[in-house]
A and B are shown apart, each in its own frame.
Chain A
């Protein structure tokens, strides 16, 4: 069994309106060292072992559903989990 952590963010080239608002808010609190904020999504998948390599399956899930690759980038981390 695997524990997969998926991170989805808007692409660098795409303006992130939420991130901009949060950045401005941090600036108003005098955290002027913050030069950029990008807001994204975090998903945890629990994936059973199957005949297929888990990286390949998760990549496909990201491309097809979890991220919209027109505007979003994704990355993921896979940890082998011991069944409870």
Chain B
């Protein structure tokens, strides 16, 4: 399985993302610059965290119009797994691939620490390696992670089981319904504020994020296995 790690001017978690899938899982991965015209050769798309275009105007608002995003939309429509973490999540929201928007954290502070997440839905291609309701430790690092959507969008998220991760116990940013990560209706686009790519090695404080990447690779292998 070959991943594209999309790099925007201002991305700063791209190397961690690459490390997670390439070094920890042994999958193929390549950095792809924001002006790329084609993503056909990749099986999965990773939008890393950071501050694309300096977060000018709104987080993700400018990146959403970059060349590569047309291709990301195409990949999403084709059913390929698309994961957006932190700024990547914000870009997916701005692009309309996921519903809702981000507000500033209710504390107005940039928060950088490890938090507990609860796996609300483990029947997705991103979370199948977790147990349902499993509590995992994943770092967060954001100033605008206060997820918001209107009531009808929230009702839809709930009805379709699209809330994949919630903050467990303490909600660090004030997000609606403690939402930390959501998936699209089709189930192949996940956006989350916490950084699973920063939790892939016990040596660095925890490896709870690895199962997320393992889930993606597992699903892809099962879908592409050649039956003899």
Residues of A within 8 A of B (CB): 10, 13-15, 17-18, 21, 41, 65-66, 68, 70-71
Contact = CB atoms under 8 A, between A and B. Distances in A.
Interface of B: 57-58, 61, 65, 93-94, 99-101, 103-108, 146, 148-150, 174
A15 B103 contact: yes
A28 to B, nearest CB: 16
By secondary structure, the B interface counts as: loop
B105 A70 contact: no
Contacts, number: 37
Given A14-B103, A17-B174, A18-B104, 12 more contacts: A10-B103, A15-B103, A15-B174, A17-B106, A21-B108, A41-B57, A65-B57, A65-B61, A65-B65, A68-B101, A70-B101, A70-B149
A47 B146 CA distance: 34
A17 B146 contact: yes
20 contacts: A10-B103, A14-B148, A15-B174, A17-B103, A17-B104, A17-B106, A17-B107, A17-B108, A17-B146, A17-B174, A18-B104, A41-B57, A65-B61, A65-B65, A68-B58, A70-B100, A70-B101, A70-B149, A70-B150, A71-B101
Contacts of A65: 57, 61, 65
Q: Which 10 A-B pairs have the closest CB atoms?
A: A70-B101, A71-B101, A17-B106, A68-B101, A17-B104, A17-B108, A68-B58, A71-B148, A21-B108, A14-B148
